[in-house]
């Protein structure tokens, strides 16, 4: 399975030629609006930086290899009173499970963790302000126990909302040998991928 980061919280998961697009965005500082072709699109919530489907070109005819599950959560730590709901989704194919946490805004409860189950990779917001912060993201990653943690929804230089904290606030919580910076925006996930925090590069 391949995981390709398009920026912010937007990814393409691909298995067997089927492309699932997650959380397409627009009007994110320093990034062009997402324009992509996919076989399916999933949005964790309907805010402009997660639910921009206007320029997504959907193809058809391919069977979806992903088993998709949804866990209802909130975009804030006040039961959704500030920013509403948020959907965590897990995508399982090839014997591997990837969880996309959307704009999770609170610690996961034991019941939510049980519902989430085993994950090989977790795509986790780390920038704070609108979501859990670096420490909260580390706690969520530890609780989920995924071998591969991919940070998202953060600021790096001039890219990303300026109220978000920097990527380094999160990666600095891990031993340096666990943080792997990739030269591209794609990671190939297998059953043998070692434990790591995978920092994917922005596409040029």
Concatenate the DSSP letters of all residues of 77-140 into one string: SSTTTTT-EEEEEEEEETTEEEEE-TT--SPPPHHHHHHH---SEEEEE-S-SSS--HHHHHHH
pTM of the model: 0.94
Please check whether residue 91 lies inside any domain of the structure: yes
- Which tens digit of pLDDT belongs to each residue from 173-189? 999 999 999 999 999 99
**Closest of 134, 143, 76, 75 to residue 108, by C-alpha:** 143
CATH number at residue 156: 3.60.15.10
Strand 186-188, strand 2-7: pairing: antiparallel
Domain of 12 in residue numbering reads as 2-199
Token pair listed for 85: 């709901």
Q: pLDDT, tens digit, for every residue of 84-131?
A: 789 999 999 999 999 999 999 999 999 999 999 999 999 999 999 889
The count of domains in the chain is 1
Region 148-169 average pLDDT: 92
Per residue in 13-32, pLDDT tens?
Answer: 999 999 999 999 988 887 88
Within a domain: 204: no
In a domain, 126, yes or no: yes
Would residue 118 count as lying in a domain?
yes
Read off the pLDDT of residues 31-78 as tens digits, 9 standing for 90 and up: 888 888 999 999 997 777 776 777 888 887 789 999 999 999 988 788
DSSP letter assigned to residue 163: T
- Answer yes or no: is pLDDT of 204 > 70: no
């Amino acid at each position: 399975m391949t995981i390709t980061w398009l920026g912010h919280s937007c990814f393409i998961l691909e298995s067997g030629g089927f492309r699932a697009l997650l959380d397409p965005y627009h009007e994110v500082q320093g990034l062009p609006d997402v324009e992509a072709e996919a076989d399916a699109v999933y949005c964790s919530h309907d805010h402009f930086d997660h639910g921009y489907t206007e320029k997504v070109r959907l193809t058809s005819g391919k069977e979806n290899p992903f088993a998709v599950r949804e866990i209802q959560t909130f975009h804030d730590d006040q039961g959704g009173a500030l920013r509403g709901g948020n959907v965590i989704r897990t995508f399982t194919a090839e014997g591997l499970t990837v969880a996309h946490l959307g704009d999770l805004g609170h610690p996961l409860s034991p019941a939510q963790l049980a519902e989430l189950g085993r994950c090989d990779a977790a795509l986790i917001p780390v920038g704070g302000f609108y979501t859990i912060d670096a420490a909260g993201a580390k706690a969520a990653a530890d609780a989920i126990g995924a071998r591969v943690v991919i940070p998202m929804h953060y600021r790096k230089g001039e890219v990303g909302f300026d109220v978000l904290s920097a990527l380094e606030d999160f990666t600095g919580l891990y031993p340096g040998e666990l943080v792997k910076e990739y030269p591209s925006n794609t990671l190939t996930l297998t059953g043998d991928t070692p434990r790591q925090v995978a920092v994917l590069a922005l596409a040029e």
